[in-house]
Amino acid sequence: MESIKESVKQMPGFEKFQEKYELMKQQVLTDPKVMRFLRENPDISDAHADKLLSSFYTFKNEQQACSNCPGLDRCPNLMQGYRSELTRVRQTVELRYKPCELKLHDEHKKSMASLIKSYFIPKEILGATFDRLYKHSIDDTRRNAISKAYEFVQMAGTNQPLKGIYFYGKFGVGKTYLLGAIANGLAEKGIHSLMVHTPEFLREMKQSLSDGSFDTKMELLKTVPVLMLDDIGAENMTNWVRDEIIGVILQYRMMEKLPTLYTSNCDYDMLQQHLSYSQKGGLDEVKALRIMERIKHLSSPVFMGGNKNFRDEF
């Protein structure tokens, strides 16, 4: 009976296939990196090398792809974002994979993103960095605010007491962007933070009473290692918002010594006046003062000025 091998040899086109195979084999075995591996492992015979041709072929192609990297999203390698390596394992050779620099950078970004939670914060703010802040024109008050923010990040995670910051100033001076830079700086150190646009978030808290998520959201704001309340003072103030949400959150954070940061268009006096409004008419100055004492206990005021609109610089 004729063997399978002999039958294959008699198939039409076998000779051309054989020629292409031999050419491919020569290209693989003369590849500089494959040749170096074979020199470093002289006990691999020619016959053994022939059996390893498939692994050598994959290694050669993937190394060439890495040399002309098209980017992580278009990586043509078998395992996207990984480099193959020829590894000697006892009497054979295996292909093992390690993440490339782009893959490691991407994983780092995703890891950082997982440390930053946000509600109603624009994406460009979540990508803020101190480097970008310093590259743009800043006056003395902005420079001081950036310095205070950077000091906060440096102090975070140490055993030293950490007080929050109350950034205040007019619209568009970069207060929210600065919170984003702080959040990313904290993420670099592995510290969780939460940024919320206060007016929108408080509206959502009212709705969460009906969907059953109120307690979960309150617990998150109370216990997150670093809380950032953006644009406080711009919300529609009610007794319930002031006493049952803001007051409860800040009381817990004050007792647990958890730092809280704020941005506002109001200074302390203006914010106290805003908090004092009562739905029943008149002013509830005592309760407003109680909230302000918690805010002052948890933060130091830092003014941000400037004649240029920070948003126009990006």
For residue 254, pLDDT over 90 is answered with yes
Look at residue 6 in the predicted model and tell me its pLDDT. Answer: 55
129 touches 179 (CB < 8 A)? no
For residue 249, pLDDT over 60 is answered with yes
| Confidence band of 16 (pLDDT split at 50, 70, 90) | confident
Residue predicted with more confidence, 211 or 226:
226
Give residue 27's region: left, alpha or beta (phi > 0; psi -120 to 50): alpha
Residue predicted with more confidence, 28 or 168:
168
DSSP calls for 60-90: HHHHHHHHT---GGG--SSSTTEEEEEEEET
Region 216-223: what's the mean pLDDT?
90
Question: Percentage of the chain with pLDDT > 70?
Answer: 87
Q: According to CATH, where is 3.40.50.300 located in the chain?
A: 111-313
Q: 3-state DSSP call for residue 10?
A: coil
List 264's β-bridge partners, or say none.
Answer: 168
Q: 3-state DSSP call for residue 265?
A: coil
Look at residue 110 in the predicted model and tell me its pLDDT. Answer: 64
For residue 280, pLDDT over 90 is answered with no
Which tokens go with 127?
């990508």
What residues contact residue 302 under an 8 Å CB cut-off, 6+ apart? 144, 145, 148, 165, 166, 167, 168
Residue predicted with more confidence, 132 or 43:
43
Look at residue 185 in the predicted model and tell me its pLDDT. Answer: 92
Burial of 140 (0-12, 13-18, 19+ CB in 10 A): exposed
Region 29-50: what's the mean pLDDT?
87
Residue predicted with more confidence, 198 or 50:
198
**pLDDT, averaged across the chain:** 84
Residue 61 CB neighbours (<10 A):
16
Query: In the chain, which residue ranges form alpha helices assigned H by DSSP?
Result: 4-9, 14-29, 32-40, 46-51, 53-67, 101-115, 123-126, 130-135, 140-155, 175-188, 198-211, 214-223, 239-240, 247-256, 268-276, 285-298
| Confidence band of 258 (pLDDT split at 50, 70, 90) | very high
Sheet architecture: strand order including 260-264: 116-119, 193-197, 226-230, 260-264, 164-168, 299-303
Look at residue 208 in the predicted model and tell me its pLDDT. Answer: 85
For residue 20, pLDDT over 90 is answered with no
| Confidence band of 1 (pLDDT split at 50, 70, 90) | very low
In this predicted model, what pLDDT tens digit does every residue of 121-140 receive, in sequence order?
888 888 888 887 766 656 88
Is the entire prediction scored with pTM above 0.75? Answer: no
Look at residue 8 in the predicted model and tell me its pLDDT. Answer: 47
Look at residue 100 in the predicted model and tell me its pLDDT. Answer: 87
Query: In 156-284, which residue ranges form alpha helices assigned H by DSSP?
Result: 175-188, 198-211, 214-223, 239-240, 247-256, 268-276
| Confidence band of 176 (pLDDT split at 50, 70, 90) | very high
Look at residue 89 in the predicted model and tell me its pLDDT. Answer: 85
Burial of 62 (0-12, 13-18, 19+ CB in 10 A): buried
User: Which of 81, 51, 76 has the alpha carbon at shortest distance from 64?
Assistant: 76
What's 111-313's CATH class? alpha beta
CA distance 220 to 213: 11
Instruction: For the chain, report the end-to-end CA distance as a whole number of angstroms.
Output: 79
For residue 268, pLDDT over 60 is answered with yes
What residues contact residue 207 under an 8 Å CB cut-off, 6+ apart? none
For residue 243, pLDDT over 60 is answered with yes
User: Which of 136, 133, 139, 163 has the alpha carbon at shortest distance from 151?
Assistant: 163
Look at residue 121 in the predicted model and tell me its pLDDT. Answer: 85
Region 274-282: what's the mean pLDDT?
76
Look at residue 245 in the predicted model and tell me its pLDDT. Answer: 92
Look at residue 3 in the predicted model and tell me its pLDDT. Answer: 47
For residue 307, pLDDT over 80 is answered with no
Look at residue 14 in the predicted model and tell me its pLDDT. Answer: 61
